Amino acid sequence: QQQVKQSPQSLIVQKGGISIINCAYENTAFDYFPWYQQFPGKGPALLIAIRPDVSEKKEGRFTISFNKSAKQFSLHIMDSQPGDSATYFCAASHRRGAGGTSYGKLTFGQGTILTVHP
Amino acid sequence: DSGVTQTPKHLITATGQRVTLRCSPRSGDLSVYWYQQSLDQGLQFLIQYYNGEERAKGNILERFSAQQFPDLHSELNLSSLELGDSALYFCASSVAWSSGGAGTDTQYFGPGTRLTVL
């Protein structure tokens, strides 16, 4: 029930195209859905995140679409650039307890290797 | 630069040995999380500390232990190492989440420690 499933495993896009990565979750207690970007030899870096009270969030070329009823969310990268070539991870977490400290352990998808050709 | 530091960057050791990985969180962050990244298991949550106390545990082996010190840095101890323990180990930190609603779930990841067990 803690699983987050991510697809595709790899994605090749031409420069200027749209990259779409999808994730599905099972645990309805999840209330925070971030996407992380990881370059080789580096740690994951937060790209954009969404909470289930909104269906879409946009930051620059990056958009998260969220479908609470389907328990799915996706990352759209518009005008993809060669510099976007990296591994992308979706994740999910939930707070526990009434107030107090956020536990927030992240459950990650398996990752998508994005290659943007010039 | 996320502000999270990890040492050492690389560690090569033999089976049966014990190693200690160190993490310094971002200034002001009270929560520290440890994750393991391997090719077959992906990114997996190991353990979380908040202000010196253990708060959540994931699929952490009994041979592994961690602690967070009064200055908030954390150490992950791996003992009786096996070949399968070879992986990237990441530390992440986040700001405390207060009952008043302030704060964030954002976790900032360090650059990781690459452990190779020969």
Collect the ranges in chain A with pLDDT lower than 50. Answer: 97-102
The shortest CB-CB distance from B111 to any of A34, A43, A103 is to A43
| pLDDT (mean) for B38-52 | 90
- Digit-coded pLDDT (tens) for A1-34: 568 999 999 999 999 999 999 999 998 888 889 9
Structure confidence by residue, pLDDT tens digits, B77-92: 999 999 999 999 999 9
Q: How many CB atoms lie within 10 A of CB B110?
A: 28
pLDDT range class, residue B47, cuts 50, 70, 90: very high
- Here the contacts of B60-63 (C-beta below 8 Å, separation 24 or greater) are B60/B34
Matching residue, tokens 């690389």 = B10
Which of B94, B108, B111 is opposite residue A104, by nearest beta carbon?
Answer: B94
Alpha-carbon span B66 to B70, nearest angstrom = 14
Instruction: Determine the pLDDT at residue B105.
Output: 72
Q: Tell if the CB–CB gap between A103 and B56 is shorter than 8 Å.
A: yes
Phi/psi at B71 (nearest 5 deg)? Answer: -85, 5
